[in-house]
């Protein structure tokens, strides 16, 4: 096969390359630096583009037509991109333009069937407009929400056979009371693991306190425990209604609902068993509405008391303890129960530190005609306290079955 070789023209032997750019020395090239056309291009960017275009035009010549077209497209895209980065004008935005949404029309015509096809039902009109009945009802509704007062229930306890039963019973009652409720349980000398576990499982917000004051008299034990709770309330400035709830008493849910209506000091009658356990007696206020006008009492030994109230028959606002200016107390001495008095007189001496007379008391509930808690004096002196509230043997005597 014959081969055709194209000899290089002598006119192309003296090509030179300057800085990687191919320059053509032929005087006939119109983009030559020595030509007149090139001198007319005054812009450096146009000169650069012309030089690159001339180089590619010579390199690809006749064979690379599609490459030349692709290069021109890319070149014009690059130039347009550069021009778009530097806008030569701005768009004025008119702030007065308002976009109004068209209102939906209301279809008030009832859809009716032809007379020859009438049936027993009618079709209600379809309304496309959104009526504002719900929004108007929401805006006109007033949220008269008053937060509940916190109840601070103070319970002195000690290790005995019925302690688990008493604390569980009281804890279940407090669990049914709407929050906020704070249960302050006070023990003597040290905290028992059994009481701590019971409080954790009660489901009630609680604080487990320890009374470290030495006391050999059983009568003074409850006084010191209540004073420890009062010191805790005063120190931390707890706000709420303070109520002394012994663990061996019985309480109704209505009692705790009544406590939240007390503003300063409230009292009510308490039903209790007589010391002989053969009859029930009543101790507490006689009320005319919410005004205290007298007292119930059946014990001759306690008739010398100023106020005939049981320890579980009154409650008071905790701010009386740590805010004497608001209640206009004559002194700022701490309010505590006294352990130097005979049994049965701790209540009246403590109440005398809170209020001056019956005019500062509130009968709860109005009329004082309902019994809302009971004091039964259930003691277990001869029953041994089991460690951990568990018995090693279920029965002291085991009888074999036949």
Residue 246 and residue 377 in contact, taking contact as beta carbons nearer than 8 Å: no
Contact (CB, 8 A) for 187 and 162? no
The rounded distance, in Å, linking the Cα atoms of 305 and 348 is: 6
Q: What angle in degrees, to the nearest 10, is found between the helix axes of 193-201 and 163-175?
A: 20
Q: Is 124 annotated as a binding residue?
A: no
Instruction: Tell me the DSSP string of 184-225.
Output: EEEEESS--HHHHHHHHHS-S-EEEEEE------HHHHHHHH
Q: SS3 breakdown of the chain: % helix, strand, coil, rounded to 5?
A: 35, 15, 50
- Please report where in the chains the tokens 């604080």 appear, as a residue: 207
Catalytic residue among 187, 197, 299, 347: 347
What gap in Å lies between CA 294 and CA 282, rounded to an integer?
13
User: What order of strands is seen across the sheet that includes strand 181-188?
Assistant: 206-211, 181-188, 151-156, 241-244, 314-317, 265-267, 362-363
| Residues 218 and 194: beta-carbon distance below 8 Å | no
β-pair partners for 210: 187
Q: Catalytic: 347?
A: yes
Show the tokens assigned to 284.
């507490």
Annotated binding residues for Mn(2+), as ranges?
248
Active site residues: 347
């Amino acid at each position: 096969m014959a081969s055709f070789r194209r000899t290089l023209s002598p006119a192309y032997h003296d090509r030179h390359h300057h800085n990687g750019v191919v320059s053509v020395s032929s005087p006939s090239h119109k983009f030559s630096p020595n030509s007149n056309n090139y001198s007319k291009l005054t812009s450096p960017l146009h000169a650069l583009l012309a030089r690159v275009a001339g180089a590619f035009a010579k390199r690809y010549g006749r064979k690379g037509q599609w490459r030349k077209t692709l290069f021109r497209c890319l070149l014009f895209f690059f130039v347009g991109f550069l021009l778009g980065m530097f806008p030569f004008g701005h768009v004025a935005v008119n702030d007065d333009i308002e976009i109004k949404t068209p209102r939906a029309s209301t279809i008030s015509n009832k859809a009716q069937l032809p007379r020859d096809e009438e049936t027993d039902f009618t079709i209600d009109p379809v309304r496309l407009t959104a009526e504002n009945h719900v929004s108007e009802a929401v805006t006109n509704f007033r949220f008269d929400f008053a937060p509940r007062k916190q109840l601070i229930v103070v319970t002195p306890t000690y290790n005995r056979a019925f302690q688990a039963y008493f604390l569980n019973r009281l804890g279940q009652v407090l669990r049914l009371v709407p929050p906020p409720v704070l249960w302050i349980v006070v023990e003597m000398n040290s905290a028992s693991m059994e009481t701590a576990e019971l409080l954790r499982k009660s489901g009630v917000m609680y604080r487990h306190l320890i009374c470290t004051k030495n006391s050999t008299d059983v009568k003074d034990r409850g006084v010191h425990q209540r004073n420890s709770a009062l010191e805790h309330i005063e120190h931390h400035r707890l706000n709420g209604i303070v109520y002394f709830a012994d663990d061996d008493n019985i309480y109704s849910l209505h009692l705790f609902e009544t406590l939240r209506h007390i503003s300063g000091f409230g009292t009510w009658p308490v039903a209790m068993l007589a010391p002989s356990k053969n009859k029930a007696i009543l101790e507490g206020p006689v009320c005319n509405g919410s005004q205290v006008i007298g007292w119930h009492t059946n014990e001759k030994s306690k008739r010398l008391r100023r106020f005939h109230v049981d320890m579980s028959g009154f409650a008071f606002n905790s701010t009386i303890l740590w805010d004497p200016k608001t209640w206009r107390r004559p002194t700022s001495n701490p309010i505590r129960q006294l352990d130097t008095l005979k049994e049965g007189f701790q209540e009246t001496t403590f109440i005398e530190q809170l209020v001056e007379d019956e005019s500062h008391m509130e009968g709860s509930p109005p009329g004082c005609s309902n019994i809302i808690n009971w004091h039964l004096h259930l003691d277990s002196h001869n029953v041994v306290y089991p460690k951990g509230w568990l018995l090693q043997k279920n029965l002291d005597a085991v009888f074999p079955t036949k």
